[in-house]
Structure 1
């Protein structure tokens, strides 16, 4: 799963870089009226790249090259209580539900180019709510001040995370991922500085990358239906505790070096209940597979 989704993300970035021209569709200009941007994106079936811009200082700039015979983009924004609320909907014509979107998505050829690029800046604080139906998405949060992150996949392949050395400048309240049928890889979760991570999986796949040593406390709450959850844990230096609620119909693998201190409660050798960088998991799995490694 990890290899496939990384390939999807790499393919998307290569495709975007190869495009001759993306048209600017929408821009929110800098303003003293707000310092926070609450951005909502709903994409039925398309490919998206979201990242901090290299030179554009506007809080939000959106580029695209959609097939306007298929996609009906709409955008709205308003400022209230020092926050700019922005909403971008990329809906397909004649799409009334999941079945219609699925039919349109699978009938497309690989040559169809429906790409959207969303630029953020390094000045404003963001709350992001991103919903992808089908396609690919790359969400690069490197160096961006994100207070809240929500990302949902219908059947899309999504890579979200950070580049080395580019952590969240502020502490994140909640990092929420949901995979109904699609796949989500969350890279370098230590750089998100998330206090709470919430993961919900239906039939999809989610990978949470905690491979690097944690500097702050983080609580992970995961619910797995019939899908798969894979967690990469720090090798050493980070205290970890795992609370597990399983069933006879699921499969669970706990990483080497953990001790079961009571029924379905596992700790590693670095565990300390009062540690400032405690990484704790509360996992409920029904029919799927959970693997800590």
Structure 2
């Protein structure tokens, strides 16, 4: 799954970079009136790229190449309590939600989908709530101070993460991902600096990449219905505790080197209950599969 979704993310970046007709649609200007941007995005069927801009100095700039005969973009923003609340909705006409857009989305190829690029700035704190129905999304958080992140996938393929060596400048409160039918790959999770990670899976697939040593404590709560959750673990140096609540209809695979200290509770050789960089998992799985493994 990781390989397939990574290919999808790479293809999206190549398509966007080659797409010369992106037009500026909306901008939030730099202002001392706010230090935080609370950004909500709902895209019924589109290909989207979100990242920090090297050239745009505004806190938020949105570019697009939509087919305005099919899609009805809307944008609104307001400043309240030192926070700029902004909302971008990319709904197709005659569509009230992801369910109504299913037949339209599957009847056309990815190259026909709308392209949107969201540029973040370097000086503000961000709270991001991103909802994708169909298509592909690349969420590159490198350089951005992200306080909270929520990503939901209807049937979209999403890649989220940081470039190597570029850690979140601030500690993230919550990293939330939900995959109803789609796929989400979360790369370099140690760079998020998330205190809490919440993962909800219906019939979709999620990969959480924790394969590098953790420097801060992080707790992961996950619920898996009939989908798949794969977790990459650091082999050395990070204390890990795994607690599983399973059922006879699910499958759970624990990586080598873990000891079952009580029923459905596993710890590795580095485990210490009071460790400052403890990585703990609380997993509830019904009918799907959960797999913990190393990358090598």
TM-score range, shorter chain: over 0.9
Displacement of 1:143 after TM fit? 1.3
Residues 65 and 113 in structure 1, CA contact (< 8 A), matched pair in contact too:
no
| Aligned equivalent of 1:150 | 150
- Normalising by structure 1, what TM-score? 0.99
What per-residue deviation string (whole Å, max 9, x for no partner) do you get for residues 83-121 of structure 1?
A: 000000000001134332111101113441510000001
Matched, 1:84 2:84: yes
Q: Per-residue deviation at 1:185?
A: 0.3
Aligned length, in residue pairs: 293
Q: Which residue number corresponds to residue 208 of structure 2?
A: 208
Per-residue CA deviation, residues 225-255 of structure 1 (Å, 9 max, x unaligned), is 0000000000100000001100000000000
How far apart, CA to CA, are the structure 1 residues paired with 2:113 and 2:90? 14
C-alpha RMSD of the superposition: 0.7
Q: Report the secondary structure of 2:99's partner residue.
A: helix
CA offsets per residue over residues 138-194 of structure 1, 9 Å max, x none? 000011100000000000000000000111000000000000000000000000000
Aligned to 1:284: 284
Q: Distance in 1 between matches of 2:276 and 2:5?
A: 33
Tell whether the 8 Å contact from 2:211 to 2:234 is kept in structure 1 after alignment: yes
Residue ranges of structure 1 left out of the alignment (5+ in a row): none
Counterpart position of 1:136: 136
Gaps of 5+ in 2: none
Task: Give the 3-state SS of the residue equivalent to 2:26 in structure 1.
Answer: strand
Q: TM-score, normalised by structure 2?
A: 0.98
Does structure 1 retain, via aligned residues, the 8 Å contact 2:36–2:83? yes
**2:234 — aligned with what?**
234
Q: Kindly tell me: are residues 111 and 170 of structure 1, through their superposed partners in 2, closer, same or farther at Cα, counting changes over 3 Å?
A: closer
